[in-house]
Structures are given as C-alpha cells and as structure tokens.
Amino acid sequence: MSNKNVFVPVDPEGFGCGLLLGLIIRYWRELLIAVGFIFACIVGATIVQSISGFVSTAKDAQAATQQSISRVIQENQQADDLVANQEYYLAASLVRTILSEDPNNDHAMALMKSIAGHVSGGLAVGSGVYYPFSSAESITFVSGLHGALVRVSPDGQRGLIVNGENQDIYSIVNLSDGSFMKIDKGIPSTDLTRVELYESPTKIKNISDGEIQEIDCSNYTSHDTWSQDSRFIISGDLIVDTESSSCRNINVPGLSGTVVVDGEKMWIVLPGNYQDVVKGQLFEANIDGSSLRKLADLPFTGRDDGSRTFLAPDSSAIYLSEGLLVSTRTGQIVSAVPNAIGWLETNPIIANIKQPQLTIQPESGPRGTLFSFSLEGGEPGLEVAMSIEPTSGGGMPIYFFDDNGKIEDDPNAPSDAFSTTFGMPTDINTASGIYTVKIYASPNPNQPDLNPMSVATFTVTGP
C-alpha cells in the first residue's frame, strides 16, 4: 500500500489562538513574573514622580516663605529707619502697608503706636473711607451719597460732589447736617469755603454769603490749584495771595507740572513723558523760585493730577495722585493709599446723608385729579427716575434736582402733560386704587436689586 500526502486545510486565526494559548499554558509562571515586574516599575515610577513633585512643591513653599520673611524684615527695618530719621508720615504709611499684609506683625504695631503722636489726620478716598495715619484701621465717614465725592476739606467738615447730565454740576455737602449747596463753576478752594470763578481778573466767591473778592493780576492766564491752607492759588508761573490780594511771579523758566506751596517754599512735580518713557521729577524751591534743587526721581511717567496732590500739615511730605508719599526733606518715597481725594488734618465727621423726601398732594382724590409730587433734600443736578405702580406703557421719566435740591410739579404745565409734569394726571379711564410712586437714582433705575431712594403713595377713588 502506497503512502499519500493528504492536504488538511487550517484556519490561520484558530491556529494562532491555539498557539498563543499553548505558550501561555507552558510559560505561565514566567509571564506572571514579567507582568508583576512591569506593574512594579509603573507603580515605582509614579511614586518617585509624586515624591519629586512633593519635594519640589515643598521647596517652592519654603522659598516663598523665606522671601516673605525677608521682605517683612526689610520693611520693618525700613520703617525703623524712617522713624529714626523723623520721617513720621512716610513711616506711618509704610507701617499701614505692612499691617495690611500681616495684621499680627507685633513690631509694626509697636511702631504705629510709637509714632501716633507725631502724625495727625489721614487720607480720604472717594468711596467715603478715611485712613488715619495713627491707626491701621479704616473709617467709613459718609454714606448715602449718589453723586461722585471728589474732595473733602482738611477739617473733615465738608465734601465736594459732582452730578448733572454732563457731570458738570458741583455742590458742597455739609457733613454735619447732610445739607447741599450748589456752587458756581470754577475751582473750589481746598477748604471748600470759596470758589475761584472762571473770570478775569481773578474773582473769588465766598460760598456761604456770596461775597466776591477781586484780585487784578495782569499776567493771569490760567486757573490751576489752591494751596493746602487755601491761601494761595497757583496759576502757571504766578502765585496769587488771597490774603494780601497780591500776585507774584515764580522765577522758574519753563515751569510746568503741579506746583505746591506753603507760603515759604514750593514743590514742583515735573511731568514725565509716556512716549519717551521719561520719569517724573520732584523739585523744591523758595517761594520766589530761588534755590531750586531736585528732590527725587519719581517712579512714574506722565503727568501728576494736581487736583489730587496734597501737602502734609507740617509740610514734611507730599501726597501724589499716583498713590505715593514723598518726603520734602530727603526725597524718600513710599506707597500710600491710592486715589486719595483729601489730606485731612483731623478725623472727619461721621455722616449718614438723609435721602430726599417725596410728598404727594392731594393724598387721595377722585378720577380727574392731578396728583402733584414734590421731592426735596436732593443733591443739586442729581438725575433721578420715577416709576408709578400700577401704570401702563412707556419707560420711567427722568428728572434732575434743581440748584436748591428740589424737584417740584410745574403748576403751569397742562394737566395732561405727563412728560412735563412731576405728578400724575388722572381721568375717567384711570383705575381706582392705591398707587405707589418710587424714585430711583439714575442711570440704572431698572435694576431689580436697586432700592428706591424715596417712596410715597396716593389713592384714586372712583365716582
């Protein structure tokens, strides 16, 4: 019998799977060891990476802590040096900065107490907050204003606010009683008792009684800033002395920038240049411009805002609008409270401004009655919006307080002229019931979370 080759078809996939299974069965111990080794390597690498990251983070945290400690030591030493050099206002400002970052800094707290008798007053900002130099605390000294608070008098008695559709109506708020008085257009004195009118020759109007002082300065060409004591007006290269009604030239060729005077000396904040990245400079001179010398190179370019540049009560430091305090003796510079609107010589009055009072006449009446509204006690020029609920159609009409802080119904307006009448005309179609009038400070009267500044009701009775 002869042998024959027989061809048997084989499934490649089945053959491969079988072969793989056979290898696994034969070498399972070796495979298990290999898988365990790979797993151990992966876990080990992960642990090493985690430890490395932890160590790196710990080192970074340690470095940051060390830097913080070094900074505190350096700032404490700087404050000590300022106190030793009798730069008390600069020291107080620096200590306040230190305590804002580290309230538990015992050394800074001790320094603050030691210099409290050498510094008076503090800085006020537009939000109505006062920062005394003798304390790390802050005081909210006024609330309830709707216009922008842009200045506070050095005695803390008065504030200057701005309102109006074009933000061009200025008035004085008496912080002791919350009353308002609109002032003429011009430049108010630092103590907010007088205003230099935009006229030539120089005319200065007393805000309380309207008396006008006229000073004839032949070269008077511009209006600039008042001195901290409200005696002098600095205008270009002239100093106007309101006490003696005289003028004197400042003998500094090419004078520009902000000029601050105290009667004996002057300080010139020379502007820098944004384009050329030139820093500003601070110069000192006698009141006539002699003995001119540079005090400091300032850490900013551009021009200082002269309306927010203030001199310390003892002339030992100048506050610049960039939020800097500069010594007038040495030119040393420290950071200060930003955006100050006044250097107060004493703590301000704590004032809570009363809101305007809305009255309606008559309080009730039949259909056909014209209900007249009256709003008193507002800030001159303040824009307000009115809503009457329930009512139908249209948006809220807008009104402005007059110079006396009033909005009243116009008795000469037609009874149906809703847009020109501060009130509500009614007729036979008006629904009877109780109506609520709400007055909102604009420009966002439709915000649902905005509380009305004044509310009153009236009743329409039906025939």
Give the helix, strand, coil percentages of the chain, each rounded to 5: 20, 35, 45
For 137-271, strand residue ranges (E) read 139-140, 142-143, 148-152, 158-163, 169-174, 179-182, 186-188, 194-197, 202-206, 212-215, 225-226, 232-235, 238-241, 246-249, 258-261, 265-270
Q: What is the model's pLDDT at position 448?
A: 47
* Cα 284 from Cα 287, distance rounded (Å): 9
Q: How buried is 303 (Cβ within 10 angstroms: 0-12 exposed, 13-18 middle, 19+ buried)?
A: middle
* Cα 172 from Cα 134, distance rounded (Å): 28
Strands 310-311 and 317-320: antiparallel
CB atoms within 10 A of CB 221: 11
* Cα 157 from Cα 175, distance rounded (Å): 6
CB atoms within 10 A of CB 14: 9
For the chain, which ranges sit under pLDDT 70?
A: 1-32, 34-37, 40-41, 43-72, 218-223, 274-277, 301-302, 304, 306, 392-395, 411-420, 443-449
Distances (CA, A) of 57 to 32, 52, 64: 37, 9, 10
Q: What is the model's pLDDT at position 345?
A: 93
* Cα 444 from Cα 166, distance rounded (Å): 16
Measured at the CA of 367, the angle between CA 364 and CA 368, to 5 degrees, comes to 105
Kindly give, in sequence order, each residue whose CB lies less than 8 Å from that of residue 16, ignoring residues fewer than 6 positions away. Answer: none
The domains found in the chain, sorted by start residue, are 27-118 (no CATH), 120-351 (2.120.10.30), 355-461 (2.60.40.1930)
Q: What is the model's pLDDT at position 445?
A: 47
Q: What is the model's pLDDT at position 256?
A: 75
pLDDT per residue over 243-290, tens digit each?
998 888 888 877 777 888 888 899 988 887 766 667 888 999 998 888
Kindly give, in sequence order, each residue whose CB lies less than 8 Å from that of residue 324, ignoring residues fewer than 6 positions away. Answer: 298, 299, 300, 333, 334, 335, 336
**Secondary element (H or E) of residue 74:** helix 28-84
Contact 123, 161 (CB under 8 A): no
Q: DSSP characters for 387-445? A: EEES--SS---EEE--TTSEEE--TTS-TT-TTT-SEEE--TTSPPEEEEEEEEETT-T
Q: What is the model's pLDDT at position 319?
A: 95
Residue with tokens 């009153």: 456
8-state DSSP, 354 = P
Q: What is the model's pLDDT at position 392?
A: 52
Burial code (b: 16+ CB inside 10 Å, e: under 16) for 163-176 equals bbeeeebbbbbebe
Q: What is the model's pLDDT at position 69?
A: 55
Q: What is the model's pLDDT at position 419?
A: 47
For 72-112, strand residue ranges (E) read none
Distances (CA, A) of 242 to 189, 268, 285, 310, 339: 11, 21, 21, 19, 28
| Residue 105 main-chain phi, psi, to 5 deg | -75, 100
For 207-292, strand residue ranges (E) read 212-215, 225-226, 232-235, 238-241, 246-249, 258-261, 265-270, 279-286
8-state DSSP, 118 = G
* Cα 208 from Cα 211, distance rounded (Å): 8
Q: What is the model's pLDDT at position 275?
A: 67
